[in-house]
Amino acid sequence: MKSISRDDLIKFHQRYYHPNTMMLAVAGDFDKKELIEKLEKTFAGWEKLAVEYPPSPRCKRR
């Protein structure tokens, strides 16, 4: 963990955290229309970006 810097975390967030790569779950007693309006206002302007993930390492088979 000591080798990970604050700058590394910022770059990771900027690369992978976008509206097209997230999932949001909501639970509880709420008005659906009102909640959708609040969420759209909150996330307005957050643009989708194409995200390329690094390849997953292959597991060694025994």
pTM of the model: 0.59
Q: What tens-digit pLDDT sequence spans the chain (62 residues)?
A: 789 999 999 999 999 999 999 899 999 999 999 999 999 999 999 999 999 988 888 877 76
* Sequence-distant contacts of 17-20: CB under 8 A, at least 24 apart: 18/46, 18/47, 18/48, 18/49, 18/51, 19/43, 19/46, 19/47, 19/48, 20/48, 20/49, 20/51
* Residue 20 · residue 49 · CB < 8 Å: yes
